[in-house]
A and B are shown apart, each in its own frame.
Chain A
């Protein structure tokens, strides 16, 4: 659906929802909607990015299709988010990656892995042991330089996206308290609980499965990130070179995070396959979600395999594959599912601001 039609459809649905309001206990979208009487593009962008697509408002809607009002908030907002992701992407020519997310991810991953095979060259199949073994396959300077540069690009792209989102939703200056509250809401996935018993995902019965698997994924990612940060400190500040012992902090954090990144994405994938197609149609966003989950899973799987087999001659190949996947993960971060975290967080900050502002004026006699 073209953006103009999508905005029109979103507005039509929000006007129906705002006259009904039965769903206001499910998540933040509906209380945010109730603070509005009209729904222009900035409002709809904000509301769409506040939406988790949990399905509760669809399964509990007396106007869901086949009712002629055909209210389907999760589907419509998912399509609108997909348009937002493209519009806010930087640089713009890479926004096309959102349209062919699965293909783009596979190509980037294959190219990255191939690049590390080329870099590693002939020594890749030999056995390397001891401190600095990894750097005999891929040099220390190259790893630091390459990943450092990519990290800066990613942060820049996400930052520009966040600014574009903020301007696109007519955001004002947030207070530290709003940023803090949004952080807590995000860490707890506060609005992915359907208002208590869980959201209606993958099916009609409320369940907490998606929230838990998302926690596995999110905290797994954070632990892996923490592992890498600790390792960087060990390496660059303390001069302790990888590989580290299996009881060292980077390995313990990375192992825990790696397990999270196996369990979480696998669980989310399984749920997604079973999810109700009416609120969660198999559109372009479906491919985007699957590609991201697959990349997270494979990154973790190769990382754990590397840990187990690092003392064997498979180390070189595994290292090249793992580094290639990590690179692909970072390269695709600003142009795939990951960006939802940035815009959802922005929407949560906005929600915290509005909740603080909103007078509890009730005007009905």
Chain B
């Protein structure tokens, strides 16, 4: 069986062992794992082929446990350290047994990925401090996605593009059929088992508005516009248990000029640790130098979402230019702080006062971007605890920032076999979930770079394996 694009007539006849909703990393790992165990597999990707891969298209690395340095990583990353990193960023809001299980299960990911066509490269420039813990995909996430699709096609996974699962027919936690739309036409697909790997609901602004209110209108969706959360909603409305807070998500600071959807990695602004960040009242609101940027970038989306108008402004001087990754949009520049304030639409007097107060509280130290240095403020609230250098050398530069939502954490509860848990507490006999749609089991809040791909890979493989076993029974 080597059919590439699923047609309407294919689908009417075809009741696969495993039906997978989604077309990103988790879905593909599930499809490959299930097909390698002999199951017939139908994978439904809601995006057209050119935009296949969900948010995985925008990724570039993942983290997995390893006991020693290897070709991809510069040093060991043992299970306990991984767990402690996760516990810290989530403030303990994680399912510890499930998280520890997933961390252990990540140990062979590098080999498995390589065997299925993924290639790695030395760490990317501008990603200091991730080289030991994270492995970087050669060519980025789209290269990974292409490799997995090739592997899946060679194995005989049937793939439908422009094929969105819109509704599910469930009976007491048992999957019977899915209603899908294939290039505009609705039809029902029966299958023995179902894997939900269709992402979160971050691109569904109406749904975001349910929990965030009008604030959601100011979010920029960094990734795919296709993650509408229809499968997630269908599962939650049909008796599957929910995990996570609907307001929790992975969100970073992005350039306010970024497109509403799909701007991806290039819209981020890494200027924060090199200057100050003010809100629309020209007031600082958080320690810009709390920790290394790769460990803090993921909190700034939520911080900005909490500010009036959901906007903030990173302000740096000429000393900082060239020290952070180049931005896709040029900064607003000016010869003085008041001029910069006017150009950014801020109150010049207020911004001058904020910068003056900051400059006065900077204590001289040895500036070192590669270390948690001793350049900090004294007597300032909130303080800037590292890399605090005065903002005094023109030209000055500013970036308007918005919350850039990456993915949502509200999801379906699962167990170690990736089985969806019903509201009654029992696992479903034939519904599995992997990826963003269940990431909330591990991520109650916060984020750890590369963890989304770890969760998708670990639970995708398990979901595919378990679904194939279930279908064979």
Contact = CB atoms under 8 A, between A and B. Distances in A.
**A complexed with B:** yes
- Interface bracket on A: 35 or more
**Interface of chain A, main secondary structure:** loop
Interface stretch (A53-61, A107-115, A221-229): A53-61
Contact of A22 (B60, B273, B327): B60
A25 B365 CA distance: 37
Given A20-B266, A66-B50, A197-B119, A364 B139 contact: no
B95 interface: no
A185 interface: no
A363 B328 contact: no
B59 to A, nearest CB: 9
B125 A362 contact: yes
A187 interface: no
A365 B271 CA distance: 10
A364 B266 CA distance: 16
Contacts of A59: 142-143, 146
A23 B387 CA distance: 30
Given A22-B124, A362-B125, A60 B139 contact: yes
Given A19-B328, A22-B124, A60 B140 contact: yes
B91 interface: no
A37 B289 CA distance: 25
B121 interface: yes
A165 B262 CA distance: 38
B322 A26 contact: no
A37 B325 contact: no
Contacts of A18: 326
B328 A365 contact: no
A194 B265 CA distance: 22
Given A19-B325, A364-B325, A204 B387 contact: no
B440 interface: no
Contact of A60 (B125, B143, B370): B143
Contacts of B294: 364
A365 B387 contact: yes
A363 B323 contact: yes
Nearest to B369: A365
A61 B60 CA distance: 11
Interface of A: 15-16, 18-26, 34, 37, 56-57, 59-64, 66-69, 194-197, 204-205, 362-365
Given A197-B119, A205-B146, 7 more contacts: A20-B264, A21-B126, A21-B325, A59-B146, A60-B140, A363-B323, A365-B273
14 contacts: A19-B327, A20-B265, A21-B124, A21-B125, A22-B140, A37-B326, A62-B58, A68-B259, A195-B139, A362-B126, A363-B324, A364-B323, A364-B324, A365-B386
